[in-house]
Structure 1
Amino acid sequence: MIAAASLPDHALLRRYADRADCFTDCYVADIGRPVELGTYLCAFYATWVFAPEKALLRVVLGRPARDFDVMPLALGESDRFAAWDVEERAEGQVLLCDLSGRTRSWFMVDGTQVYFGSAVVPPYEGADLGRVFRALLGFHHVYSRALLRAAVARLRAMSR
């Protein structure tokens, strides 16, 4: 259901995939019906898998990520959600940058397919991503797949 995929050529995350010093990944799932980007974003951030991260954002950073807080981002009315700012938008996709400037989250819809990808950027161009990143890479892959799987399940449930 969730598959690792190559980034589409027009993906906003491509600029980081093309840099040798960055890490990027991309996952895709087919939900069986067309979906709007805003609906996908709302479903993604409302999943039970994302709930622990919401709690951390609220407690550690003082940045709530309530379900209704994502709506302005999803509607294109805001360029900020919790700990992320919009780096760029294009038709059917959005690229978010975290507060530190070190990670990106990318979402795209294309017909019945939903994409989720990430980028990790070094602290300065050409720097190593570091031991902490390498230590957490396995968890990151599992977490990314779980987030997308939960979002897909939520989207499918919404269409029943």
Structure 2
Amino acid sequence: MPHVIKHGLLVADDWTLVTSAPANPARVILPLADWQARPDHPAVWLAPDETPDALLPHLDRLALVAIHFPVFTDGRGYSLARLLRQRHGYRGELRAFGDVLRDQLYFLHACGFDAFSLRADQPPAEAVDALADYRWQPLGQR
């Protein structure tokens, strides 16, 4: 089973990220276009050029919002995270995925992310250890 860093710990990832909706979408993170056809689904992912506007009436029941980083130099996901957390008050899991490097984790967390799915060549256990390089506080304790 793949792993994800969540709240500063390495945990088994029981969600599956999909690029199009499967017939049975249990425990999958749907892309925004597919989620809009099923807005009762608890998990959605946004591309960096999408806005969270469609999610706003549903934020209180979304368990997970994931934001895609197609390349590590694309910073739009940081802005999306800030909008969701600070302006819109989203309190569920906010996950960064894609071209996510261990060196970005502190800064991603500072913008509101509390879970990270690293790029395949980034050892998650080493990334968790790297979090100790900075003062790490769970999101609700800042």
Q: TM-score, normalised by structure 2?
A: 0.28
Which one has the largest radius of gyration?
A: 1
Q: TM-score, normalised by structure 1?
A: 0.26
